[in-house]
Amino acid sequence: MTTPPLDQRSRQVLLAVIAEYVETGEPVGSRAVARRHIRGLSPATLRNAMADLEELGYLVQPHTSAGRVPTDAAYRFYVDHLQRVPWVAGRAPAVGQPSGLPQADAAERLMAETPSRLSSGTHMMGVLLAPPLKHTALDRIELVALDEDRALAVLVTDTGWVTARPLATTLRGGSEELRETGRALTRRFRGKTFQEILDDLTAPADPLDPLWTRSRGVIDEVVALLRDRTLYLSGATNMLDHPDLSDTATLRAVLHAFEDKARLIDLLSRMAEERGLQVMIGSEIPLEDMRGCSLITSTYTYRDQVLGVLGVVGPRRMPYSEVMSVVDETARAVSSALSRVRQHLYLP
* DSSP structure string for 78-98: HHHHHHHSPPPPP-PPP--PP
Asked if 48 and 146 sit in the same domain, the reply is no
Listed in sequence order, the residues at least 6 apart from 298 whose beta carbon sits closer than 8 Å to its beta carbon are 276, 277, 278, 309, 310, 311, 327, 328, 330, 331
In a domain, 1, yes or no: no
Do 239 and 334 lie in one domain? The reply is yes
Lowest-confidence region among 26-30, 40-44, 245-249, 268-272: 245-249
Domain membership of residue 158 as a residue range = 138-227
pLDDT in tens, 304-342: 888 899 999 999 999 999 999 999 999 999 999 887 765
Kindly report the pTM of this predicted structure.
0.77
Is residue 93 assigned to a domain?
A: no
CATH number of the CATH domain containing 315:
3.30.450.40
Q: Do 257 and 109 lie in a common domain?
A: yes
| Closest among 256, 161, 266, 180 to 218, alpha carbons compared | 180
Which residue from 43, 40, 45 is spatially nearest to 10, judged by alpha carbons? 45
Q: Are residues 75 and 201 in the same domain?
A: no
Choosing from 179, 197, 227, the residue where a domain stops is: 227
67, 184, 197 from 193: Cα distances, Å = 58, 17, 6
Determine the pLDDT at residue 102.
Answer: 44
Read off the CATH number of the domain in which 66 is found. Answer: 1.10.10.10
68 or 342, higher pLDDT: 68
Query: Does 339 lie in the same domain as 319?
Result: yes
Q: Are residues 295 and 321 located together in one domain of the fold?
A: yes
Say how far apart CA 247 and CA 66 lie, in whole Å.
Answer: 20
Residues 152 and 289 reside in one and the same domain? no
Domain count, the chain: 3
Shared domain for 146 and 223, answered yes or no, is yes
DSSP state of 71: -
Contact between 277 and 297 under an 8 Å Cβ cutoff? The reply is yes
User: Which one of 203, 227, 251 terminates a domain?
Assistant: 227
CA dist., res. 27 & res. 20, Å (int): 9
Task: List the beta bridge partners of residue 28.
Answer: 68
Task: Output the pLDDT for position 210.
Answer: 65
CB 121 within 8 Å of CB 92: yes
Residues 237, 126: one domain? Answer: yes
Burial of 207 (0-12, 13-18, 19+ CB in 10 A): exposed
Question: Which residue did the predictor score with more confidence, 152 or 209?
Answer: 152
CA distance 36 to 22: 14
**In this predicted model, which residue has the larger pLDDT, 109 or 267?**
267
Instruction: State how far the Cα of 76 lies from the Cα of 56, in Å rounded to an integer.
Output: 14
Residue 193 resides in a domain:
yes
Residue 148 and residue 200 in one domain: yes
pLDDT of residue 225: 67
Lowest-pLDDT range of 48-62, 209-223, 260-274: 209-223
Contact residues for 70 (Cβ-Cβ < 8 A; gap 6+): 14, 17, 18, 21, 58, 59, 78, 317
Residue pLDDT, tens place only, 7-21:
999 999 999 999 999
Q: What pLDDT, on a 0 to 100 scale, did the predictor assign at position 158?
A: 76
Domain end point (choices 227, 253, 273): 227
Rounded CA separation 220/2 (Å): 49
What's the one-letter identity of residue 168? Answer: A
Three-state SS letters, 179-228? HHHHHHHHHHHCCCEHHHHHHHHHCCCCCCCHHHHHHHHHHHHHHHHHHC
How many secondary structure helices (H) and strands (E) does the chain include? 11, 10
Q: What is the CATH number of the domain that holds 209?
A: 3.30.390.60
How far out from the chain centre does Cα 78 lie? 22
Judgement on whether residues 220 and 238 belong to the same structural domain of the protein: no
Question: Is there a single domain that holds both residue 237 and residue 220?
Answer: no
